Amino acid sequence: QQILRLAEMCRRLETEEEKVLPFYPSSLAEEEQRDACRVLKDPPVEPLAWTMQDYIGLEHFWQRFSKAKMEEQALEQEREALSQRNRCLRELLRKYLAGISITQEVLSEPSLL
């Protein structure tokens, strides 16, 4: 009961965009989907199945949680790639600045003008 109330509360706090946000289609074949629906409609027999019924209301939460985790991982990979590019650009800049810097040798050479 508490889990269902929690799921309802989470649903009320969703934005309109989150409420209509599509999820990836199931990877089950049509026959497997029909079997799953039939099994879900039948009353559970085992105690664990009874307990799992309480958590069905959190399905959208876990979908959104998984999507957020995948986005987090993608952003972390992008951040790492950008950090690597930043390091390369800094190294190139360091080499460029080292190549154009005025050293004591250049200052001591007589001017050609």
- What whole-number distance in Å separates Cα of residue 12 and Cα of residue 4? 12
SS3 of 107, please? helix
Which of 79 and 112 is assigned the larger pLDDT?
79
Return the pLDDT at 90.
96
pLDDT in the model for residue 99: 80
Distances (CA, A) of 87 to 35, 76, 97: 54, 16, 15
Tokens at residue 35, please? 């079997």
pLDDT score, position 77: 95
Q: Average the pLDDT over 8-36 and give the result.
A: 69
pLDDT in tens, 55-93: 766 777 777 788 889 999 999 999 999 999 999 999 999
Confidence of residue 30 (pLDDT cuts 50, 70, 90): confident
Residue-wise pLDDT for 93-111, tens only, equals 998 888 887 666 666 766 6
